[in-house]
Amino acid sequence: MLATRIIPCLDVQNGRVVKGTNFLNIRDAGDPVERAALYDAQGADELVFLDITASHEKRDLMFDYARRVAEEVFIPFCVGGGIKTVEDFRRILKTGADKASINTAAVTNPELITECSRAFGAQCVVVAIDPKKTGNTPSGWEVHIHGGRTPTGIDALDWALEMEDRGAGEIMLTSMDADGTLAGYDIPLTQAVTQRVNIPVIASGGAGTLEHIHDAVTAGGAQAALVSSIVHYGTFTVGEIKDYLAERGIPVRRV
């Protein structure tokens, strides 16, 4: 069994790490470069750096911030937000990132995932999926884009499978209903997606306790857990999360 990855997520807006609830009510959580260095030192397995308003505001990615974060860490590093073309993807990797995450552009141009996977390898391509419970799709989970602002009518389970077929190496699955609530990951959603695809799924949205993370990687079947509020505001360190999982028989990487 592969080690479960603990991945702090740096949602960045106007040059600051922020965190909201259900994608709203944004509050400050610090400097992205300082946070990246802290989580690297705590033993994080990877980092995710997301420019959360780039697609909605139709502007360029913050390449300089991505580059500065990449200079501070020595672990795999994913950047997302506003990627629209293969050239955008290439520029992100040139900042020093190991992976790039695509959400909105994957929906507006699904062929982009195929092109990026062929150009850079599936291991670099992370597709972010932001589902919300609605009555508009067969599974009940509808994909949203533009930072959760725009419903698409696309079924989240079918979309995850299509993204795998198009060459995505990983799914970053953020429940809009659970995000920032500290009430736990959406386990039924996570389980449904992990059972539908054969690529790794990163559970995201809702971690408030150590038990929530344990549930995501056991009952939910996720290969990794994205964490933000639980580490940004000092509730737990990455090391404490890993100690908890290891004590319960979950393989984790130790520094």
Strand, coil or helix: 158? helix
Which pLDDT score, from 0 to 100, does residue 65 have? 76
254 within domain boundaries: no
209 within domain boundaries: yes
Give per-residue pLDDT as tens, 45-99.
999 988 866 544 444 566 777 788 888 888 999 998 888 999 999 999 998 999 9
Which pLDDT score, from 0 to 100, does residue 21 have? 55
CATH number of the domain at 173, please.
3.20.20.70
What is the mean pLDDT of the segment spanning 21-44?
Answer: 76
Which pLDDT score, from 0 to 100, does residue 172 have? 98
Domain that holds residue 208: 5-247
Tell me whether residue 125 is exposed, middle or buried, using C-beta atoms within 10 angstroms of its C-beta: 0 to 12, 13 to 18, 19 or more: buried
Q: What are phi and psi of 190, to 5 degrees?
A: -60, -45
Q: What's the structural domain count of the chain? A: 1
253 within domain boundaries: no
Would you give the distance in Å from CA 129 to the centre of its chain? 9
Which pLDDT score, from 0 to 100, does residue 66 have? 79
22 within domain boundaries: yes
Give per-residue pLDDT as tens, 97-135.
999 999 999 999 999 999 999 999 999 999 999 999 999
Contact 100, 125 (CB under 8 A): yes
Confidence label for 210 from pLDDT (cuts 50, 70 and 90): very high
Q: What are phi and psi of 31, to 5 degrees?
A: -85, 130
Give per-residue pLDDT as tens, 151-178.
999 999 999 999 999 999 999 999 999 9
Q: Where are the beta strands (DSSP E) in the chain?
A: 5-13, 16-21, 24-30, 47-51, 77-80, 99-102, 125-133, 141-145, 150-155, 170-174, 201-204, 224-227
Which pLDDT score, from 0 to 100, does residue 64 have? 78
71 within domain boundaries: yes
Which pLDDT score, from 0 to 100, does residue 107 have? 98
Q: Active-site residues: which are they?
A: 11, 130
113 within domain boundaries: yes
Q: What are phi and psi of 237, to 5 degrees?
A: -90, 165
Q: In this predicted structure, which of 64-73, 84-93, 196-205, 237-246 has the lowest mean pLDDT? A: 64-73
146 within domain boundaries: yes
Q: How far apart are CA 33 and CA 73, in angstroms?
A: 9
